[in-house]
Amino acid sequence: MSKPTNWDDFEKLIHAAMYNDLRVAPEERPLLLAAPTALDMRALTKMAQIAFETFGVPALWMIQSATLGVVAAGSVTGLAVEFGARSVTVTPVFDGYAISAATVMVPIGGDLITDHLMRLLTERGYSFTTTAEREIVRDIKEKLCFVTPDFEGELALAADGGAGPDSERTYELPDGQVITISSELFRAPEILFRPALAGVEAVSLPDAILVAVMRTEPELRRELLSRIVITGGPSATRGLGDRIELELARILPDDVISHVVTSSARERKYATWIGGSIIGSLTAFHSHIITADEFNACGPAKAVARRMW
């Protein structure tokens, strides 16, 4: 779940999820909400109020999405790297708790990679300007883009007309026209490692990972780096995990090894849901539930502050 910006839309989302997708009566089932790691207490309280006052849920869990991603990977400790539409959020998680004070956000997400790919394709002579055409570019990104381990080398090879296995691909447009795409496929996601290519002033993803880890206690750092969990749709980009490990190896001491947890593209995309389903089945975590009685007795802000995970 991304950060809510319109509470009417948030209510509609919960309504659709409950009545249309799950087909359950909200007043009969506890609700687990995955809260974006960067969400402030005011927004969390508002989410709780909507759950209890609008939908009448009997109980509520509010768990940070970083924790759910790590749990989905089979652990309670790790470094959550969450890829969203607008940003990448890096959060250390220890023993099931997100260390929010150490969170680092990089303002590059799936939407910006799509926009950058559109610009690159325009430079190649193709025109994608409408909303429908942007969806075509997004599909190209998801199906064909990849992260190269050697950007400069791959770029030089493409400039020389090199014929690597990924150097040139074709894509059929809805009207039947077939277009040819080359270096754009690895240049677009490269902005995660070189934000300046997209005109963004920000640290690179590997640097953000290092900053987040260094904000934690020294005794946690090796363990966090050994279990980097990447989640969200853009995290499925081919070669991303290997490139993260490669870049970290260049900046970490020789005796510190980083490891990106391997999982399928589907598992990465739905990691938050998978983590929530795991936690929902474990009674050990029930102490974090806010009941309707507690919500009414303590008030929204105090109840959320007491039980927020």
Residues of each domain in the chain carrying CATH 3.30.420.40: 7-107+202-307
Q: Which residues contact 292 (CB under 8 A, 6 or more apart)?
A: 52, 56, 57, 58, 59
Q: Write the pLDDT tens digit of every residue in 28-48.
A: 999 999 998 878 889 999 999
pLDDT at residue 159 tops 90: no
> 164 falls in which pLDDT band (50, 70, 90)?
low
What distance in Å separates the CA atoms of residue 277 and residue 282, rounded to the nearest whole number? 9
Considering the four listed CATH numbers 3.40.718.10, 3.40.50.300, 3.90.640.10, 3.40.50.620, the one that applies to the domain covering 110-198 is 3.90.640.10
For the record, the structure tokens of 181 come out as 């795409």
Which pTM value belongs to this model?
Answer: 0.91
In the prediction, which pLDDT does 157 show? 85
Residues of each domain in the chain carrying CATH 3.90.640.10: 110-198
Domain covering 7-107+202-307, topology: Nucleotidyltransferase; domain 5 (3.30.420)
Query: Strand 78-83 relative to strand 228-231: parallel, antiparallel, unpaired?
Result: parallel
Q: Write the pLDDT tens digit of every residue in 246-269.
A: 999 999 999 999 999 988 988 999
- Residue 208 CA: distances (Å) to CA of 49, 89, 265: 34, 9, 23
